[in-house]
Structure 1
Amino acid sequence: MSSHTNVVTPRRITGVFPIARTGCRQDWSEVRRSLPCVSVVWFVRVRPLYRERVSHEVAVNLLEQTTQVLEWPRLLDALAGHARSTMGAAGCRALELANDLPDAQRRQQETTEMGQLQASGEAPPTLAFQDIRDPLARATKGAVLEVHELRDCAMVLELLEESSRFVERHRSDAPALVSAAYPLLSVGPLRSVKTALDAAIHPDGSIKESATPELRRLTHQVQGLKQQMRDQVNQMLHSRRYEEILQEQYFAQREGRYVIPVKADMRGRVQGIVHDVSASGATVFIEPRELVELNNSIKVVDLEIEREVRRILRELSACVAAQSETVMAGLHALAVLDGISARASFGRQLKAHPVSLNDQGRVRLRHARHPLLVLSKEQVVANDILLDESTQVLVISGPNTGGKTVTLKIVGLFALMVRAGLHLPCDAESEMAIFSDVYADIGDAQDLARDLSSFSAHMIQMIQLLDQTDRQRRNDRDGTPQQWLVLLDEPVTSTDPAEGAVLV
C-alpha cells in the first residue's frame, strides 16, 4: 500500500452474515483495535451458495452503478482512442467481459501476442477502413451501389487480403491472435471481386473509361463531339458578328449544354435558347441556334454513357452481394483485430503488463497504479494490494485524501480490465482474480428526485445487491460457487454514528 494508507488485518470469524435470508455465507471480521481513521473502506468477497439468472432490470441497474462509479466508460473511451476504424472504436466502447477464467486468459493472450508483434515491427496493416455494412446490406437486397461505395468496398477487400497474409504469416507465433481473426483466412474467394472492382473504379472514386469496351467507345465519341463544340464556339467568340454582343470572350455550360455570355440589352440580336441570367442581370447565357444540334448530339452520348455506367455499377453491386457473407465476416474480423491492436497500444501507453489470472480469489498486485491517473499524471503513487483465499474481508483505514477510495477503484477497475483482455498497470509478477460479478458502492448516491438521502440511497443499493443474490439462490441448480467482488466506500455513514454502528 502507499505510505498514506494503513491496512488493518482482521481476525477472521466464520459465521453467518446477519442478513442470512439471502443464502450467503461469508467470512466476517473483527478489528483488533480502534481504527485510526476518519473513514473506512472495505473489500468484501461474497460467495453465494447458489447462483441464478437474475431479472434484467436489477442486473442492469447494478452494472450501470458499478461501471459509472469506477469510471469504466471513461477508460473505454481512452481505449477507443487507439482504434483506427469506427467499427474498432465502437467495439472498444462496448467491450464484452469474459465469463470465466479460460476466456479471460485467451483474451489476455491475444493482447500479449499483438503487443509482441507491435514491439518487433510486425504489426498488422493499418486498420483504418470504412464501415461498409450498410452498403453490403443494400447490395444484398438488390440495390445498386454508388461509385464511392464500391470504391470503399474495394479498399476493404484490399485490406482483407493484406490482413489475411499477416494472419497466415503468424499462425505459429500468435495462435490466439490468429484464432480471434480466423475469418481472414477464408477471404480467397474475394480476390475475383476485388479484381473486378479495381478494373472499373479509380482510387478517387471515379469510373475508369476502360471499365468496358462500350464505355471506352462512348467516352471517345463524346470527347470528339466536345472538341468539335469547342472549335465552333471559339470561332464564334472571335468573329466580328459577336464582337459587340458578348459580355466577355469565354464560353460556359448550363445544364450540360454549351452557352455564350451575351449582354442583356443585346440578347435580341442572338437567335437561340436562354438558359440562365447572371446575378446582376447584366449577362444572359444563350445557346445560339448554330450550337443546338451539336449540343443535342453530346447530350445523347452523355445519356448513353450514364446508362452504361449504371449497368456497370449494377453488375459490380451484384458481384459484391454474391460474396456479402464472406465480406461481412472479414469486416468483423478486421474490427476484432483493430480492437486487439488498440488493447495492446493502450497497454503500452499505461506501461502495463500481463499478469497471472486465477479463479480462487487471490489478488496480489505489486505497484498497482490507477489507469486513469496514469493517463493524466506523470507521477502516480503505486500501491501493493494483497488479498488471498483466507481473507474474505479487507478493511483499509487512513486519513482523508490518503488514497483509500483510489485503492478501491484500482481493484474494481483491474477486475474489469482482466475480463476485457486488458493488461494491468502493475508489476508483471502480480496476480489477479477473475470475479464473476463486481459491485461498487462508492461516493454519494443521494437522489433528490427519488427522495433519497445519502444514507438511504446506499442502503437501497445494498438491498438490491442482496436481493439479486437471493434470486440467484432460488433458481440456480448447478450449485457452482461463484465469487463477487464487493467494494464499499465508507459504508453506513452519512447518518448518526450510533445508529449506523448498529448496522455493522
Structure 2
Amino acid sequence: MESRTLQVLEFPKILNSLSGLTVSEAGAEACLKICPLDSLEAVNHSATLFEQGAAWVKESGFSLKSFPPIDGLFTYLDRQAVVIDQDALFALKQVLDNVYFCRESLRGFEDRGWDILWKSLFAYEWPVKTVSAIQRCLDPDGRIKDESSPGLMDVRQEIRSIHQRCTKRVKDFILSENLGNAIQEEFMTISSDRYVLPLKVNFKNKIKGIIHDYSQTGETCYFEPIFLVDTNNRLQELKKEEREEEYKVLKYMTGLIRDELEGIEEAYAGLVNLDILMAKVALSNKYDGHALQVVDEGNPKLMKARHPLLALSDEGVQPLTIELLSGQHALIISGGNAGGKTVCLKTLGLISLMAFSGLPVPAAEGSTLPLWKNIFVVMGDEQSLEENVSTFTAQIQYLKRAWDSIDSQTLFILDEFGAGTDPTQGAALAQAVIDSLVEKRATTLIATHFPALKAYAMANDYVRAASVLFDPGTKKPLFKLAYDQVGASIALDVAREHGMPAEILERAEKYLLLDGSDTTSVLDRLNEMAVQREEELEAVEIERAKLEKKRANLETRFQKERGKVLDNIQSQAQTIVKQWQAEKLGRKEARKKLAEVKEKVDGLAPTKPTAKPKFSFEDIVPGIKVSYQAWNKPGTVLEVNQRKKQVKVDIGGVAMWVKAEHLGPAGKTKAAASKGPSTVSKEPSDLVVEVDLRGNRADMALAELERAMDGALRKGAGKMEIVHGRGTGALRREVHEFLKHYPAVASFNLANEERGGDGMTEVKLK
C-alpha cells in the first residue's frame, strides 16, 4: 500500500487516536507502526483476535495496567558478561507481574473457546525460574530482600545491630553532656553513609569530632563525634560487603534471565500486543465500531458507515450506505457542492485501510469488503509550483505511475478527475479512464460535477450512479446518498448561501438560461422524491426495529412465565408423589391429582406442535430414555400400558402416565435424574447409574451418594450421573470433595451445558 494513500486518507490520524488509548510507551509506539496486512488470512485472524478481545473485556471488565518499557534491557543483555541493575530488575518484575495477571484473568474463561486470543498473546514457555526468583528476591517496592542470600542476611543484620548501638550511644552521650539544646531536630542522622549529629553551628567547637557538611541555611552542621568514628568505619566496610552481596544476587538473577530470555521477550511482546488490542477495543467503544468482514473477492457493502475521524469527533455524524451490486465495478457520485461527496470517498478509503489493518470500523454489522491489495487516490489540489505542474497534469502523472499496478484487487478513488481542464474533454477523458479501470476489473469510486459523466453513469450497467441529497426547502446538504440517480451541482445555491452578491447570481442565472443546459428543475424534483423515499425508508426501519424489540421482549417474557408455571407444576407433582410415599394420600387419589397436573401441562403445550422426531408405540419399552415434549424434558420409561396406549415415565423423580403420542426420542438432552439409582443400559460396562441429591442437606446427600455408588459397583456400572443442582455451589463442592477420595472413582467432571452444565457431575468408575 502506498504511503501517499495513507496520508491522503488521513490514516495516521487514526493511529494517533489509537496510540493515545494505550497504557504504555511501547504500545503507543507500536500503534503508530500499524499498516494494512497483505493476506486475507492475516486480516481475518486480526479481526477474530479483536472480537475475542472485545468479548473478554465485556464479560470480565478486564483492564490492562500500565507497565514500563524494557526493550533496552534486551539490547543490554546482548552484551556478554553484563549484570542488570536493580532498577532494570524491578521494571522486569512489573512487566512479568502484569503478564501473570493477564494470563490468569484469561484462564478464567477457558470454556469460551478464545483459542486465537490465548495463542496470539500467551502461547510461549512461561519463565518459571525467573518469576520465582524475582518474587523471592525483590520486595513490592523493588528492593532486594534480606532473604535473597545468606551472606546478605548476615551483613544487613550486623548493619541493623550497629544502628541500634549507635542510637543508644548517641542518646546516652547527649544526656550525659546535657547537649539537648545543641541538637537540631532528631538525635542522629546519616550523611555520606556515616552516622552524624545534626548540631547547631554555635556548638561545633564544644565537642570533639569531624564536620562533614552544612545545611542549606548554614544553621546546622552534620557532626561526627570521635566516639562514632570507629563504628562508622566498620559501617563503611559492611556497606561495601552489602553491595557485593547484592551484586552476587543481581548476577545470579541475570543468569536466570539469560536462560529464559526467549520466553521473557515473548511475554513482553505479548503484553505490548495486548496493549494494542485493548486500545482497539477502547477505540471501538468510542464510535460503536466492529470488526469488518473481509472476503477474497466481491463487491463492497458498507452499511451505515461513518467517516472514522468524524465519528470520533462528532456523535451526530450522518451514516452512509456505500454499496455496489453484482456486476458493477464503479460508483459515480454527483450532487451539490459541500454535500459530502468527498467525505463519502474518504469514508470508503479510510474504512478499508482500517479493516485491512485489523482495526474496528464505524459500520453496521453485515458490512463486507473485498481485500484490495492496492488503493490509489486522486484527490484535492495536486499542483506543484516548484515542479511547474498543474492540478490536471499532476493527476495524469499519478495515473500513469499507478497504471501498471492496477488489477482486480485494486480500489481507485477519483475526486473531480479531469476538472482542471476543458469540461468536455475532461469528461471524455474521465469516461475513458473508468472504462479502462472496469476492464481491469478494478473497483472505482468517482465524485464529479460533469453532466456527461452523470449521463454515462445512468447508461452503463457496470456503473452505478448515486447522488448526495440536499434539503428541498433550504438547499442545505443532508449528507445522505440516494442510489441510481444523479444530482444537480446547485453551485448557484451554494454561492448564495456563502454570500455571493445578488447581482452576480442574477447574471449567472441568465447565462445559464441562454446556454440551454439548465436541468436544475428536473434534478430538484428527483432530489425531492429521493429525500421523501429516504424518509419513508427510515420510518419503516424505525418501526421494524420497534416491532422486533417488542417481539423479543414478549418472547422473553413468555418463556420466563412459562418456565415459572412449569416449575410450579413440577413442584406440585413432586409434592403429590412425596405425600403418596409417606402414605398421606391413597394410590387412587394420588393418581387423580397427578392427572389434574398433567392436564395443566398439556394446556401449556404449543397449539402447533413443533416438528420433533417421534417413534411408533411399538418402539417404546421399559428402560429406554424418551423426551416428554410438553415439558421438553427427558425421562425414563417405567411401564407401558398396551391397551390404553399410555406410558409411565419417570421425569426428574416424578412418575406419571402420559400418552405415547406426546413422547419422542431423548436425543442429546439432559439425562433424567431420579431419587436413587436407576439403570439405563443392558450391558454392564455401559451401565449408567443416576442419583438426584437435590433438596438434601450435605450429610444426607453424601450418605445417599455413597449408597448409590455401592449399588452401582455391585451392578458393574461404568458411569454415574450425579444431579446436585446449581444453587450456591456448596453441594457441588461437597460432592466433588467426596469423589476425590473415593477409591472406585477413575475421574469426574461437570456435564456439558445441554446435559445440565454445572448442575450435574459425570463420574467414570474404575
Is the TM-score greater than 0.5?
Answer: yes
Partner Cα separation in structure 2 for residue 347 and residue 69 of structure 1: 23
Where does structure 2 lack aligned partners over 5 or more consecutive residues?
431-766
User: What is the match of residue 245 of structure 2?
Assistant: 308
Deviations, residues 237-272 of structure 1 (Å, cap 9, x unaligned): 334465786677743322111223445465444332
User: What is the match of residue 64 of structure 1?
Assistant: 3
Aligned match of 2:350 in 409, 413, 424?
A: 413
1:10-89 counterparts in 2 under 5 A? 63-89=2-28
Aligned match of 1:483 in 394, 409, 424?
A: 409
User: What is the match of residue 9 of structure 1?
Assistant: none
Aligned match of 1:139 in 77, 81, 93?
A: 77
Note if 1:289 corresponds to 2:229.
no
Alpha-carbon RMSD across the aligned residues, in angstroms, is: 2.7
Letter of the 1:75 counterpart = I
1:276-355 counterparts in 2 under 5 A? 276-355=213-292
How many residues are paired up? 428
Which secondary structure does the structure 1 equivalent of 2:148 belong to?
Answer: coil
Note if 1:151 corresponds to 2:90.
yes
User: What is the match of residue 381 of structure 2?
Assistant: 444
Aligned CA distance change for structure 1 residues 194 and 244 (closer, same or farther; 3 Å): closer
Which secondary structure does the structure 2 equivalent of 1:414 belong to?
Answer: helix
Partner Cα separation in structure 1 for residue 184 and residue 106 of structure 2: 65
Deviations, residues 158-209 of structure 1 (Å, cap 9, x unaligned): 333344445555376223323323xx23334x12211111111011111112
Where does structure 1 lack aligned partners over 5 or more consecutive residues?
1-58, 474-480
User: What is the match of residue 363 of structure 1?
Assistant: 300
1:105-504 counterparts in 2 under 5 A? 105-121=44-60, 123=62, 126=64, 128-141=66-79, 142-165=81-104, 169-170=109-110, 173-181=113-121, 184-188=122-126, 190-240=127-177, 242=179, 250-262=187-199, 264=201, 267-466=204-403, 469=404, 482-495=408-421, 497=423, 500-501=426-427, 503-504=429-430
Q: Give the conservation status (yes or no) of the 8 Å contact 1:167–1:185.
A: no
Partner Cα separation in structure 1 for residue 200 and residue 101 of structure 2: 60
Q: Give the conservation status (yes or no) of the 8 Å contact 1:257–1:295.
A: yes
Q: Radius of gyration: which is bigger?
A: 2
- Please say which of residues 299-308 and 333-342 is displaced more in the overlay: 333-342
Partner Cα separation in structure 1 for residue 163 and residue 65 of structure 2: 43
Which secondary structure does the structure 2 equivalent of 1:273 belong to?
Answer: strand
Letter of the 1:252 counterpart = T
Q: Give the conservation status (yes or no) of the 8 Å contact 2:68–2:95.
A: yes
Q: Give the conservation status (yes or no) of the 8 Å contact 1:442–1:489.
A: yes
Partner Cα separation in structure 1 for residue 317 and residue 58 of structure 2: 25
Aligned CA distance change for structure 1 residues 335 and 261 (closer, same or farther; 3 Å): closer
Alpha-carbon shift at residue 500 of structure 1 (Å)? 4.1
Aligned CA distance change for structure 1 residues 80 and 243 (closer, same or farther; 3 Å): closer
Q: Give the conservation status (yes or no) of the 8 Å contact 2:280–2:359.
A: yes
Which secondary structure does the structure 1 equivalent of 2:294 belong to?
Answer: strand
Letter of the 1:272 counterpart = G
Partner Cα separation in structure 1 for residue 195 and residue 293 of structure 2: 75
- Please say which of residues 134-143 and 357-366 is displaced more in the overlay: 134-143
Which secondary structure does the structure 2 equivalent of 1:432 belong to?
Answer: strand
Alpha-carbon shift at residue 90 of structure 1 (Å)? 2.6
Deviations, residues 379-411 of structure 1 (Å, cap 9, x unaligned): 111111112452222211111110101100111
Identity %: 27
Which secondary structure does the structure 2 equivalent of 1:186 belong to?
Answer: coil
Aligned CA distance change for structure 1 residues 324 and 278 (closer, same or farther; 3 Å): same
- Please say which of residues 90-99 and 310-319 is displaced more in the overlay: 90-99
Letter of the 1:377 counterpart = D
Letter of the 1:231 counterpart = K
Partner Cα separation in structure 2 for residue 398 and residue 157 of structure 1: 58
Letter of the 1:223 counterpart = R
Alpha-carbon shift at residue 314 of structure 1 (Å)? 1.2
Q: Give the conservation status (yes or no) of the 8 Å contact 1:361–1:435.
A: no
Letter of the 2:344 counterpart = T
Alpha-carbon shift at residue 502 of structure 1 (Å)? 6.2
Partner Cα separation in structure 2 for residue 208 and residue 368 of structure 1: 57
Partner Cα separation in structure 1 for residue 47 and residue 353 of structure 2: 12
Alpha-carbon shift at residue 487 of structure 1 (Å)? 0.8
Alpha-carbon shift at residue 427 of structure 1 (Å)? 2.1
Letter of the 1:79 counterpart = L
Partner Cα separation in structure 2 for residue 134 and residue 247 of structure 1: 45
Letter of the 1:490 counterpart = E
TM-score for the superposition, normalised by structure 1: 0.77
Letter of the 1:95 counterpart = I
Aligned CA distance change for structure 1 residues 381 and 423 (closer, same or farther; 3 Å): same
- Please say which of residues 98-107 and 193-202 is displaced more in the overlay: 98-107
- Please say which of residues 367-376 and 456-465 is displaced more in the overlay: 456-465
Q: Give the conservation status (yes or no) of the 8 Å contact 1:274–1:287.
A: yes
Partner Cα separation in structure 2 for residue 172 and residue 248 of structure 1: 63
Deviations, residues 38-70 of structure 1 (Å, cap 9, x unaligned): xxxxxxxxxxxxxxxxxxxxx7xxx22211121
Which secondary structure does the structure 2 equivalent of 1:416 belong to?
Answer: helix
Alpha-carbon shift at residue 414 of structure 1 (Å)? 1.8
Letter of the 1:409 counterpart = K
